[in-house]
Amino acid sequence: MTGHGDRARGRRPPRLPAAVRSRRPARISERLRRPQPLLKRRMPSGRGAMEQPNITSGGAGVLTPRFWLMVVLTGVAAGLLGALMMLILFNVQYAAFGYHTGTLEHGAAQASAARRVGSLLIAGAFGGVAWFLLRRYLKGKPSEIDEALWNGDGRLSFRRSLGSSVISEVVIGMGASIGREAAPKLLGGASGSVLSGWAGLSAGQRKLVVACGGGAGLAAVYNVPLAGALFTAEILIGSITLPVMLPAIVCSWIATATAWIYLPNRAVYPGIPDYRFTWSLMTWALLAGPVIGLISSGYIRLIGWVSHHRARGTRVLFAPLIAFGILGVIGIWYPQLFGNGLDMARDAFLGLSGFGLMLTLFALKPLVTALCLGSGASGGLFTPTLSTGAVLGGALGIAWNLAWPGSPSGAFAMVCAAAMIGAAMQAPLSGLALVLELTHSGFGLIVPMMAATAVATLVAFHVDGYSIYSARLPAFTDDSAPAGSSLRRTGGGSDGAAVRTILATERPGQAYHSPSREPTARAAEPPSASAMPSAVGTSRSSASAAPMAATAPPCPGLVRSGRPAAACSRSSLAAAASSPGRS
């Protein structure tokens, strides 16, 4: 041993071997975040950075260098595929209606009545055969991004997604009344799914990349990078936290910039005046908000009904022909109904349409859109919903000006469009950002626009709560229940009246509560570095978690046959029993 005498005589203590030195504990970081930041010490106060709610640790672990590389590549792919879809759409429009410049509405109006009807009949015949073959030979391949993210593992079939997207853009170019955004949204998500599988990302990372790709596809074709990022976070993920927003923003701006190789770098609705705020408009927005919320709820119910009862099997061969033919006949008098409704909304924003025309278009557009979807067609609902709100606002604005003049009808159309799309998507932030970015105008109307959107969304939420996306989710069957689900549909009825029962439980007496009335607890593993980002503020006290424990299936590995899976770990059993659930 080395004593005090040795130190006094200047002798150094013996140097420890390297193997012993390596076993010394490393300096412990004061930070709890994953991944660890470069600075390991907290602020002098000792308070944590994650006390700011959006800076979460759960989910931040997915932001690895490999993950970021896939986000960048997904953004590039979403931009290129979005531009390709628009190339197909525009060229089909030119060929179908015989014009080379201008808008679809102008081209359809210049075409003869026979050409209008003939174009829709050809679209119905082509779409019916193409969708029938696609769904027959690629049956079971996932191609619905909302379903894959909300109830699946994020995997999408690129072949089926590409086929469905091309068919959708072709029939829209020929006049079908459905939205064009579904194709680039789906392909952006599918490209993220393929790239995530190639890179070997975790399930949580893959779902986030797929969601970013979906929002980026929307951003690319409409030149709305901010709205695309908000769409990813607010709708597809349901969490506006830093680990979600950062990749969503990066993916959206990359996709938007990439799409500029073909698409113009300008507003989708150019030339919209910079309307000014008036108290007349503000008062109207507060009064119209509840009406818009009620109308959007009815519209969503219509979409949900036709989506559930849409043509399937061999009926798809002739149903689009009939539905598109009816649209073609109506289009003899109202060519504004052709396509997704983009030109219809632009005329309303500019105040170019009269009261009677806008009121008629407001009544017809939802009906012909529902008719096309009910025939088995695949497509989006964003622009049809936006245009419906625009013509409604324009018509109501003209009537309001008779009592209290002060604002042009175009200002009312913009306010109503934002409120309608925000309430129909149940995403007010995305709705507001979309209208502002689509027009590059409207900042003078931001206060009445926010008021109408908030009131309309609140009313729609309390009346029903579905959106144009959740209303279209397919019913669960023995073949389509999500992976790991132990639920089976055993009865019919509306609004979730179908009874889902637990096929196998290890604790008798557990009750399952219908998701239409109470949130269902889901099995959840403890947070890890690869966990999926969770919504802000989802932590609950143990007191509130206890009542939900009885609603959780005892094991996430239960199979639909009613027998437990071969392997069901103790951790998954404990997590399923104690998980507070998510509404």
Please tell me the predicted confidence (pLDDT) of residue 58.
Answer: 59
| pLDDT tens digits, one per residue of 165-203 | 999 999 999 999 999 999 999 999 999 999 999 999 999
- Residue numbers of the chain with a pLDDT score lower than 70: 1-27, 57-61, 477-583
What's the CATH fold of domain 279-472?
A: Clc chloride channel (1.10.3080)
pLDDT in tens, 255-296: 999 999 999 999 999 999 999 999 999 999 999 999 999 999
Q: What sign has the CA pseudo-torsion 216, 221, 227, 233? A: negative
Question: How far is the C-alpha of 417 from the C-alpha of 453, rounded, in Å?
Answer: 9
For residue 236, what are the contacts with CB-CB under 8 A and spacing of at least 6?
145, 146, 149, 211, 214, 215
Please state the length of the chain.
583
How is residue 527 annotated by DSSP? P
Written as one string, the DSSP assignment of 227-271 is: HHHHHIIIIII----HHHHHHHHHHHHHHHHHHTTTS-SS-SSTT
Of 426, 412, 445, 451, which Cα lies nearest the Cα of 289? 451
pLDDT of 476 reads: 81
The vertex-462 CA angle with 460 and 468, nearest 5°, equals 35
Q: Report the C-alpha gap between 252 and 230 in whole angstroms.
A: 10
Q: What is the pLDDT of residue 17?
A: 57
Is 279-472 the same fold as 61-259? yes
CB 400 within 8 A of CB 282: no
Q: How many of the other CB atoms lie within 10 Å of CB of 79? A: 30
Contact between 207 and 153 under an 8 Å Cβ cutoff? The reply is yes
Virtual CA dihedral for 96, 102, 106, 107, nearest 10 degrees? -20
The full set of domain ranges for the chain reads 61-259, 279-472, 494-513+551-576
Gap between the Cα atoms of 430 and 436, Å rounded: 10
Q: For residue 552, what pLDDT is reported?
A: 41
Three-class SS state of 487? strand
Conformational region of residue 37, where left means phi above 0, alpha means psi within -120 to 50, and beta covers everything else: beta
Q: What pLDDT score was predicted for residue 102?
A: 87
Q: Give 459-483 pLDDT, tens digit per residue.
A: 999 999 999 999 999 988 644 445 4
Query: pLDDT at position 359, please?
Result: 97
Question: Residue 15: how many CB atoms within 10 A of its CB?
Answer: 8
H or E stretch covering 489: strand 487-489
pTM tops 0.85: no
Query: Which distant-in-sequence residues (6+ apart) come within 8 Å of 541 by Cβ?
Result: none
The token duo for 138 is: 């690629």
Picking from 180, 472, 497, the residue whose alpha carbon sits closest to that of residue 310 is: 472
- CATH architecture for the domain at 61-259: Orthogonal Bundle (1.10)
